[in-house]
Amino acid sequence: MELISVCSRSFSRHPLLRKEILDIYPNVQFNDEGKRLVGDGLIHFLKDSSRAIIGLEILNRETLSKLKKLKVIGKYGVGLNNLDLKALEEFNIKLGHSPGVNRRSVSELVLGFSIDLLRNITKNNKTWNPETGRLLSNCTFGIIGCGNIGSDLANLLKPFGTKILVHDLRKIEGFTQVSLIDLLKNSDIVTLHVPLDESTFNLLSMAEFSLLKKNALLINTSRGGIVNEKDLFSWLNENPLSRAAFDVFEEEPFNDSPLLTLPNFFTTSHIGGGTEESILAMGRAAINGLKIL
């Protein structure tokens, strides 16, 4: 009987997803220890598996070369930067992937970040120090990457009357499309929704930060590595009226990041897809992905 392995911790903890996959595949091992599987530990966990559900675990060429029995991966979540796609093809490992299944979860987090930063909600928590805020309705919102999440966010913003600028490599209908430089210069809020690859690594560094308004807000819920974190630290330190809210970091967990020392930096722990609805959607998409072969 073939072995199915679930690497994702949040999938493994979810009773309904466990039941649904066991209804189809009776021989399933889950990551019940709740540890992040890396390196030799990941190889040991997957060495006898023919099918696997992968979340944020890194499957590079070296790791994949040692997984001789692996034939199919069901992707839990939408990002693919942790998978060596060329190696998957080389080793004839099929990938079941459903883009955009967590788009509303992420776009609502961006909306929450925006209102929080504009109205100083977190900053004023449990303290009596009223501060003047800003209206989202009067802001220009710059969306870098207008795919599944970016376009969903843009639709959520429409009722606010917010001016929306988008930057994308593709032609986007229904929105004002501008260059990256013009978006950075003219936006009050900038949010990132692009995949992490060679073309987007350190997409925003000091040269780009220098174009932003002195009181701009920067939000990243896509992937760590798209923003140069050392330059971000310098920019926020030099521009105290600017603020940033990040859900993702180049190195996770982020406990040692110097950004955490800044009063104008806010963070969550990679919870963009962490709603009950999106966990179910991502889990079911991953289960369906196992059926690709």
pLDDT digits (tens, 9 = 90+) for 265-279: 999 999 999 999 999
Instruction: Give the percent of the chain with pLDDT over 70.
Output: 100
Pairing of strands 49-54, 140-144: unpaired
From the candidates 223, 229, 243, 284, give the one annotated as an active-site residue: 223
| Whether residue 97 has pLDDT greater than 90 | yes
Cis bond before residue 253 (omega within 30° of 0): yes
- Spatial distance between the Cα atoms of 167 and 180, rounded to a whole number of angstroms: 6
Domain 3-100+275-292 CATH superfamily: NAD(P)-binding Rossmann-like Domain (3.40.50.720)
Q: Is 199 exposed, middle or buried (0-12, 13-18, 19+ CB in 10 A)?
A: exposed
In the residue annotation, 167 being an active-site residue is answered as no
- The confidence score (pLDDT) of residue 130 equals 87
- The confidence score (pLDDT) of residue 99 equals 92
What residues does each domain of the chain span? 3-100+275-292, 103-267
- Spatial distance between the Cα atoms of 234 and 23, rounded to a whole number of angstroms: 52
- Spatial distance between the Cα atoms of 227 and 280, rounded to a whole number of angstroms: 29
What is the 3-state composition of the chain as percent helix, strand, coil, each rounded to the nearest 5?
Answer: 35, 15, 45
pLDDT digits (tens, 9 = 90+) for 121-177: 998 899 898 889 999 999 999 999 999 999 999 999 999 999 999 999 999 889 999
Per-residue pLDDT band for 293 (boundaries 50, 70, 90) equals confident
pTM of the shown model: 0.92
pLDDT, average across residues 202-231? 97
In the residue annotation, 270 being an active-site residue is answered as yes
pLDDT, average across residues 177-184? 98
pLDDT digits (tens, 9 = 90+) for 39-72: 999 999 999 999 999 999 999 999 999 999 999 9
Structure tokens at 50: 């023919």
| Whether residue 113 has pLDDT greater than 90 | yes
pLDDT digits (tens, 9 = 90+) for 240-267: 999 999 999 999 888 889 999 999 999 9
From the candidates 14, 104, 193, 270, give the one annotated as an active-site residue: 270
Structural contact between residues 111 and 156, judged by C-beta atoms closer than 8 angstroms: yes
CATH fold of the domain at 103-267? Rossmann fold (3.40.50)
Question: At a CB cut-off of 8 Å and minimum separation 6, what does 241 contact?
Answer: 214, 215, 264
Instruction: Give the percent of the chain with pLDDT over 90.
Output: 91
- The confidence score (pLDDT) of residue 25 equals 96
3-100+275-292 and 103-267 share one fold: yes
Task: Determine the longest span between alpha carbons in the chain, in angstroms.
Answer: 64
- The confidence score (pLDDT) of residue 172 equals 87
- The confidence score (pLDDT) of residue 173 equals 86
From the candidates 62, 252, 276, 277, give the one annotated as an active-site residue: 252
Three-state DSSP class for 223?
coil
- Spatial distance between the Cα atoms of 248 and 86, rounded to a whole number of angstroms: 25
Structural contact between residues 108 and 132, judged by C-beta atoms closer than 8 angstroms: no
